[in-house]
Chain A
């Protein structure tokens, strides 16, 4: 057996040997925790619109997201968010709160390396790609929109 075949055979064997996660409990947990976070967001949004009558809908959404980001950053700080995350998986990663967690957690982790090289540099180690991909792809969409607009 040559090297390549052995690597292939071994990896295939390992793959078959890996213990399978029982998907049901984690899927269910991610479902209801994720749903609950969205529900809280809707609740905050409706409450804001009710309390401040002349608030525009868009401003209300912005406030809602900022409040959710604040809550997630705070829960990350006191060390609770990772515990919820371990339980709910995708339920806490996919909402905007996961974005907030991914910025706050490296900042806290690397604070001992100093404010500049610790907190500020490491802040975007996880969230950086999200912003880069978001900006690049949406600008690309904007470019297409602009070019199409020129001919219409």
Chain B
């Protein structure tokens, strides 16, 4: 049977999670939940790329510590980020003595890496697997857009790349919320060419994954305490609600978008946060905390990614999107 959804038999547990964010993010709506807030975007490094790498390293060690394990217990690392050739993850992996799988799903990398890690753990091949993703405003800005010092205005649909890294450890042993299902998404392109309007480019892929997830698992939005997309932003999440309504599914108050909720209104981020770090930091701080508290029993976490590159957009290509979903449950509370 052709089915995009995996139901895990052994259900790997998330036994440790760690988030680290930049100073601007540390003033946002989730500020009380982050594990570490950097005082400076450079994080004591010389370049922003090196800062991003250090964030990943710290997030990985932080998550391992919170899982009450040591680096020796980790079997494999699954990580990704936004930079070309995912250098931040790969160079961060250099500092550790375990195998590394690089994954790229743009801003959906957190769910993709967790789904891949869950398969590895569930299949019994590895015992403890670490997932990590990060993004940095200053590195993303100069790779995708303009130099930081250029005096230009941001269009009203644009989003703000989150400076932050999130990491978690998956294992069959220990205690923690369980990853029960994962749905891999198709690459969907509905012809949006505006590189600033990534929310609109990614919303159809979120709809597609959501529909197939609900169909494959025979669930409805009401079965989840929280349905959360990654970085559709204000505009993108409104579009998703409209698209789902067209398909006859109503997203109610249990639906939210990490990017839209990330910053306070007076932080001038227009449509909200974006980037790998957006969904990764929210998941590994706020959502994990609420799952552990028992406030949420079942969460559908489905970050979206815009698979664009400057070369493709300059050649006139439209922006394809992808969305991966995982379901995290915690009955113990």
Contact = CB atoms under 8 A, between A and B. Distances in A.
A86 B151 contact: yes
Interface stretch (A19-27, A51-59, A136-144): A19-27
A108 B150 CA distance: 10
Interface stretch (A42-50, A61-69, A74-82): A74-82
B150 A126 contact: yes
Interface in A58-100: 76-77, 79, 81-86, 88-89, 92-93, 98
A132 interface: no
B149 A109 contact: yes
A88 B239 CA distance: 30
Contact of A85 (B142, B150, B197): B150
Given A82-B150, A101-B151, A18 B156 contact: yes
Contacts of B251: none
Contacts of A109: 142, 147-149
Contacts of B142: 109-110
B151 A11 contact: no
Contact of A10 (B46, B190, B271): B190
B157 interface: yes
A76 B235 CA distance: 32
A81 B149 contact: yes
B153 interface: yes
A7 interface: yes
A102 B191 contact: no
Contacts of B197: 14, 18
B169 to A, nearest CB: 33
B152 interface: yes
B204 A76 contact: no
A7 B150 contact: no
Interface in B298-315: none
The binding surface of chain B is classed by DSSP as loop
Contacts of B157: 18-19
Size band of the interface chain B makes with A: 20 to 34
A17 B235 contact: yes
A26 B156 CA distance: 12
Interface string B160-191: 00000000000000000000000000000011
B200 to A, nearest CB: 4
A85 B239 contact: no
B47 interface: yes
Nearest to B190: A10
A84 B235 CA distance: 27
B244 interface: no
Nearest to A72: B151
Given A14-B197, A126-B146, A85 B152 contact: yes
A105 B149 contact: yes
Interface in A94-127: 98, 101-102, 104-106, 108-110, 112, 126
Given A19-B271, A86-B153, A101-B151, 18 more contacts: A6-B190, A7-B190, A11-B190, A11-B191, A19-B235, A26-B153, A81-B149, A81-B151, A85-B150, A85-B151, A89-B152, A89-B153, A93-B151, A101-B149, A105-B150, A109-B147, A110-B142, A126-B146
16 contacts: A7-B191, A11-B192, A13-B242, A17-B235, A17-B238, A17-B242, A19-B156, A82-B149, A89-B153, A93-B151, A104-B149, A105-B148, A109-B142, A109-B148, A112-B47, A126-B150
Interface of A: 6-8, 10-11, 13-14, 17-21, 26, 76-77, 79, 81-86, 88-89, 92-93, 98, 101-102, 104-106, 108-110, 112, 126
Interface of B: 46-47, 142, 146-154, 156-157, 190-192, 197, 200, 204, 234-235, 238-239, 242, 271
Lowest 6 CB-CB distances: which A-B pairs, in order? Answer: A85-B151, A7-B191, A109-B147, A105-B149, A105-B147, A14-B200
